[in-house]
Chain A
Amino acid sequence: MPDNEQRRSDAQDAGERLVARHVREDPFAAAFKATRMPMIVTDPNQNDNPIIFCNTAFEKLTGYSSREVVGRNCRFLQGEETNSETVGRIRDAIAAGSDIAVDILNYKKDGTSFWNALFLSPVRDDRDKIIYFFASQLDFTNVKSREADLAAARHRAEEEVAKHTEKLEAALAAKTLLVHEVDHRVKNNLLTMASIVKLQARKTKNEDHKQVLMSVLNRIEALSTVQRKLFTLEDVSRFDIADVAREMVTDLVGATSREDIRLTLDLHPVYVPAVKATPLSLIVNELVGDAIKRGLSDGGGDIHVVIKRLNGHFLIRVEDTSVPVDVDDETTEIGRILLENSAKQVGAKIEKRVEGHRTTVDVTLLVEAPQENDS
């Protein structure tokens, strides 16, 4: 008798002996045979640990008949794409006589593969000797393919997101470049406008013309200062009026080169949205410019500028002590129009008080932008 045949026959005998120990009515044996869970029993005490028994569910799953599997080691279920590392883990568990639960790719008789959730466990006798190995198989190919589908879908979605992100980043870079370019041009144009006016003021022989041109230059420069401050902001909704006022006022007073005009400041950060920056800066510019004009025609004086918050409102106050003299009507009129229009634009209230030498102008308006805590 050839070896193979002998082995098969030995295994079959072992299987039959195992079954013979159970009477026909033994519910455990009946359950083993009838369950929908594919199961096998192997005999580690025979050469190469052959299968000695398989149930109907196993036959159905693998396509092999009991006759074909009994006497063979389980490795015939393995195939080309079976992970050898997983096989190694099963081999180690058998050698160690321990339980193991692994997912392994197995192959049916017709060559199709299936994902097998294998559970393998030794069966011991009274003396703790391993007499059988019991193994159950569970085909979870469907779960596995759903997982693969999900992974593929996730992968596609991620690719899509990456593609969109790339597009958005490119668009953002282009927009940023554009903003920088526009900002650069706006700045250069403001400076060029100022230069043209300045050139004309420098060349004219007419003092009145010169004064008119210088007052135009002054307003262009107020806008320039706003533009310069605006672009250094991280957040255009938070423009600090006190910051621009400090620079503007210091500039204006400094430009007079008059030591008898004394400037004091009481400035606290007040944040406004960028859209309000221009009208508010023009307000500060007009108020301080007016105070300087009076100081110039008088014999100097004190100018005090306050910017601070007052419960939900904020206050711009320009106070000066110089003999109030009327500057020429035209200048006063233009200053008034600019001031009133700017105030109207931001919904500010203007209040002017004259007490002897002291002129106080209060501009109050609602604060909308979120304010930082006092620091």
Chain B
Amino acid sequence: MLLAMELESEVELAGHHVTATAMSRSQAREAVSIERPEFAFVDIQLQDGPTGIDVGRDLADEGIPFVFVSGNIKKIPNDFVGALGAIEKPYTVAGMKSAIAYISGVIEGRSDLPLPASLVLAEDVEIIRGGYRVS
């Protein structure tokens, strides 16, 4: 879980508190029930399989905003199951930093921030997938 650990250090470097890291869907549920996070980073491929999508659904049900972190954005369902967007792997330190800064801003209610290249928003997914936008 080296990747999770390094992500944790990036999030903390940006001045945030990490409530928990989880390696499976059940661990994620438990972690959320112990301390409710303000935001979550969800890898799609977890120890119990590609259950990140389900974790995303659980978070959406709880009303907790999140982004997917994935090596293959095309695997995410079209509606993004309620995610704000996705950070594509392998991300760079700078890319993750700017994504975290953008996400922090969005959670604080700012809408004037420029979108970093490292973050693909759910509403832009149609552009990425098929070269057109539905809405």
Closest residue of chain A to B94 (Cβ to Cβ) is A255
A224-B96 Cα distance, complex, nearest whole Å: 13
Q: A228 to B2, Cβ gap below 8 A? A: no
Q: Which residues of A contact B93 (CB under 8 A)?
A: 194, 198, 217, 221, 255
Q: Contacts A180-B72, A183-B72, A188-B71 hold; do A246 and B117 have CB atoms under 8 A apart?
A: yes
Chain B residues 53-102 with CB under 8 Å of chain A are 71-73, 88-95, 97-98
Closest 4 A/B residue pairs (Cβ): A255-B94, A224-B90, A191-B90, A251-B94
* B92 touches which of A188, A202, A221, A232 (Cβ 8 Å): A221
Q: Which residues of A contact B117 (CB under 8 A)?
A: 246-247, 250-251
Q: B89 to A188, Cβ gap below 8 A? A: yes
Q: Which residues of B contact A254 (CB under 8 A)?
A: 94, 97-98, 116
A323-B89 Cα distance, complex, nearest whole Å: 37
Task: Determine the interface band of chain A, counting residues with CB < 8 A from chain B.
Answer: 20 to 34
Q: Contacts A180-B72, A250-B117 hold; do A224 and B92 have CB atoms under 8 A apart?
A: yes
Q: Which residues of A contact B91 (CB under 8 A)?
A: 191, 224, 228
Does A184 sit within 8 A of B, measured CB to CB? yes
* B9 touches which of A191, A194, A202, A231 (Cβ 8 Å): A202
Shortest A234–chain B CB gap in Å is 10
Q: B6 to A195, Cβ gap below 8 A? A: yes
A246-B118 Cα distance, complex, nearest whole Å: 11
Q: A191 to B94, Cβ gap below 8 A? A: no
A61-B64 Cα distance, complex, nearest whole Å: 89
Does A192 sit within 8 A of B, measured CB to CB? yes
From B9, B71, B88, name the one whose CB has the most chain A CB atoms within 10 angstroms.
Answer: B71
Residue ranges of B at the interface with A (Cβ–Cβ < 8 Å): 2-3, 5-6, 9, 45, 71-73, 88-95, 97-98, 116-118, 128
Q: Which residues of A contact B9 (CB under 8 A)?
A: 198, 202
A196-B95 Cα distance, complex, nearest whole Å: 17
A189-B92 Cα distance, complex, nearest whole Å: 13
How many A-B residue pairs have C-beta atoms within 8 angstroms? Tell me.
73
Q: Which residues of B contact A232 (CB under 8 A)?
A: 73, 128
* B72 touches which of A184, A202, A246, A252 (Cβ 8 Å): A184
Chain A residues 218-275 with CB under 8 Å of chain B are 221, 224-225, 227-228, 231-232, 246-247, 250-252, 254-255
Shortest B19–chain A CB gap in Å is 21
A190-B71 Cα distance, complex, nearest whole Å: 11
* B3 touches which of A195, A247, A250, A255 (Cβ 8 Å): A195
Q: A194-B93, A224-B92 are in contact. List 20 more A-B contacts (CB 8 A).
A: A187-B71, A187-B89, A188-B90, A190-B90, A191-B90, A192-B2, A194-B90, A195-B5, A199-B2, A217-B93, A221-B92, A224-B91, A227-B90, A228-B88, A251-B94, A251-B118, A254-B94, A254-B98, A255-B94, A255-B97
Q: Which residues of A contact B73 (CB under 8 A)?
A: 232
A11-B5 Cα distance, complex, nearest whole Å: 108
Shortest A323–chain B CB gap in Å is 25
Pairs A–B under 8 Å by Cβ, sample size 11:
A187-B90, A188-B90, A191-B90, A195-B6, A228-B89, A228-B90, A232-B73, A247-B118, A251-B98, A252-B94, A254-B116
A247-B117 Cα distance, complex, nearest whole Å: 6
* A191 touches which of B3, B98, B118 (Cβ 8 Å): B3
Q: A198 to B92, Cβ gap below 8 A? A: no
Q: Which residues of A contact B128 (CB under 8 A)?
A: 232
A187-B90 Cα distance, complex, nearest whole Å: 5
A224-B89 Cα distance, complex, nearest whole Å: 8
Q: Which residues of B contact A251 (CB under 8 A)?
A: 92, 94-95, 98, 117-118
Q: Which residues of A contact B97 (CB under 8 A)?
A: 254-255
A195-B8 Cα distance, complex, nearest whole Å: 11
What 1/0 flags go to A155-187 for Cβ under 8 Å of B?
A: 000000000000000000000000010011001
